[in-house]
Amino acid sequence: MLNFKNLSLRRGVRVLFSNASFTIHKGEKVGFTGANGTGKSSLFAMVRNELHADEGEFTLPPGLEIAHVAQETPAVSCSAIDYVTDGDRELRRLQQQLVDAESNHDGLKQAELHALLDTIGGYTARAKAARLMSGLGFKSDQEHHAVNTFSGGWRMRLNLAQALMCRSDVLLLDEPTNHLDLDAVIWLQDWLCKYDGTLLLISHDRDFLDTIADHIVHIEQNKIDIYTGNYSAFEKMRAEKLAQQQSAYLKQQREIAHIQSFVDRFKAQATKARQAQSRIKALERMEVIAMAHVDSPFDFSFPKPGRMQNPLLKLDRVDIGYGQTKIIQGANLSISPGDRIGLLGPNGAGKSTLIKVLAGDMQPLSGTRLEAEALNIGYFAQHQLEQLRLDESPLWHLQKLDPKATEKELRNFLGGFDFQGDKVMEAVKPFSGGEKARLVLALLVYKNPNLLLLDEPTNHLDLEMRHALSVALQDYQGAIILVSHDRHLLRTVTDRFLLVGEGKVQAFDGDLDDYRSWLAERNKGEDKTTQEFSAPVSRKDQRKQDAEHRQKNKPLLDALKKAELAVEKHHAEQRTLEAELANPELYADTEKDRLKKLLLRKTEVDKALDTAEAAWMAAEEQLEAAKSSL
């Protein structure tokens, strides 16, 4: 158990949180949420024993192996796969002891160490490291590249792989998806769902939290509350709490009415595209989401674009690449007013390069790029943050766009992006990545574009700002081309998808669930042989295949379900017993008999849980073996 008791923490004179008490039990997966600067990372630093509370105490059982992602990567010359393997600290310790034993010709010690290495899977560690790297987007030939040859983003992926390599009891992940593309996010999500340790996760990705977390720790107004369930369950509980606040009621109703009018308007034209139906399903949750975000500091919208011609932009038989290297060949794309397109595809397939060509930042190798006379592009990419004048203020940047606007008008506009008071006059240089991203988005909105090209716009944005951006984009009347690893944003903003890969840009006849299925099949095929890049099977055929597989595997699925229920039952009783044993009153002299009974029962439950978990793992392995033989 990780026990946080009556904690208080300050930064200077500012109180981050006070009198906070909560417990995280073994095996739980806990998502930490709250605005930037509320103290989430500080809690992680406490777990790592790098920070101590001003008041209260944090305790954890001794001897736990705690893994986290290093924020800096040393510019070392060792190979990437060796760097990742270093994450298994016990493996490296045993390997060094084996070297020492060999140099001392200590045969008995060598035999003992070989047995220990076999026990911990030391002889398959390199293969495990290779699988981790592959899941995070590295090619097999990159395994032997020196760490110092990788860019900053790829080094962060190496740090993440190193943390996952550690056979940890507790894993701390602070925004692990920031440097990942959608494919790697899906892989990491699946990996974390199978992680059997205790997971503490800071993330602003709603779908990621929804799939992984079974508890949410939320920090706001200097308080910490823990909720049971995933992020959607937390939102619902928080919405119910906020709905009782009279001051929030009117704003809440305006937000709900705005979203409902959008849904009603969209349903009228949603009979043809499967993506449209998927989007409506996502929007059915928006009423609850609106309630949960009524106190958001962000409130902005895109004005109605000016004149829009059809098409706004067209690519005709375009080849895209660098020098003699073609990444995309023969691309044809026509963008009309109202188009809402999401780009999917493997990392390095050319999604960002395609957007650069659409934006006019990069010229095609051949073919024609035709733009309408009235085209007004709003382009967001990470390098836009680097183009801000660091010595100037948010107000200065906006005044450069519109010198005739009054300071009051510009201040009001910036307030919608939570640049309030003196903040609008401060230099940009010390701003966080999230604040810089918000400023770039504010400048983009102010330009009133009729075509938005958005390349990972949610990187560095917290959940409140992501929600505000999603709502604003839903009501935007121009055309959108979007690359994002934020699946909630893709679901609620786009109508259709294009698949970029193997040198092609082609329509993807499916939604994000189809893409995940296609990706799983593609990766499964790549483990055996190189598989041709092609469109996925239809949803109807996929359902038929899935039904056949389920029927064939029904006995194994039943055994797995039975084992899972046993694990859940014993785990629940174990938590109840641990909670009782944590009560100081139990250790009074008058409670000796009760304490003895509880300790005896705890031993029995622990043993039963170990047996149930072994049965569960055996059932899962049998099921995986059956699936792989299909």
| Distance from C-alpha of 595 to C-alpha of 601, rounded to nearest angstrom | 10
The pLDDT-based confidence of 602 (bands split at 50, 70, 90) is: confident
pLDDT tops 80 at residue 582: no
The pLDDT-based confidence of 14 (bands split at 50, 70, 90) is: confident
Give the other-Cβ count within 10 Å of 239's Cβ. Answer: 19
- pLDDT tens, 469-511? 988 998 899 999 999 999 989 988 898 999 998 899 999 988 8
- pLDDT tens, 397-449? 999 999 999 999 999 999 999 998 999 999 999 888 888 999 999 999 999 99
Counted residue by residue, the chain has a size of 630
H-helix or E-strand spanning residue 228: strand 223-228
Does the pTM surpass 0.75? The reply is no
The more confident residue out of 123 and 427 is 427
Percent of the chain with pLDDT over 90: 42
Mean pLDDT along residues 339-362:
91
Give the other-Cβ count within 10 Å of 120's Cβ. Answer: 14
Per-residue burial over 179-205, b = 16 or more CB atoms within 10 Å of its CB, e = otherwise:
bbbbbbbbbbbeebeeeebbbbbbbbb
The more confident residue out of 595 and 557 is 595
Which residues lie across from 343 on neighbouring strands?
Answer: 498
pLDDT tops 70 at residue 289: no
- Mean pLDDT for all residues in the chain: 83
Question: Side by side, which strands form the sheet with 325-335?
Answer: 325-335, 313-322, 366-371
Mean pLDDT along residues 593-621:
77
The string of DSSP letters for 534-602 reads -PPPPHHHHHHHHHHHHHHTHHHHHHHHHHHHHHHHHHHHHHHHHHHHT-GGGGSGGGHHHHHHHHHHH
- pLDDT tens, 130-159? 999 999 999 888 999 999 888 888 899 999
The more confident residue out of 611 and 549 is 611
- Contact present, 91 and 117 (Cβ < 8 Å): yes
What are residue 382's phi and psi, to 5 degrees? -60, -30
| Distance from C-alpha of 78 to C-alpha of 82, rounded to nearest angstrom | 7
Which residues lie across from 386 on neighbouring strands?
Answer: none
Strands 66-68 and 325-335: unpaired
What are residue 270's phi and psi, to 5 degrees? -105, 25
pLDDT at 199: 96
| Distance from C-alpha of 403 to C-alpha of 547, rounded to nearest angstrom | 63
- Span between the terminal Cα atoms of the chain, in Å: 41
DSSP 8-state assignment for residue 79: B
Residue 448 amino acid letter: N
User: Can you tell me whether residue 170 is helix, strand or coil?
Assistant: strand
User: Can you tell me whether residue 359 is helix, strand or coil?
Assistant: helix
**Treating both helix axes as pointing N-terminal to C-terminal, what angle do 512-528 and 182-194 enclose, rounded to 10 degrees?**
80
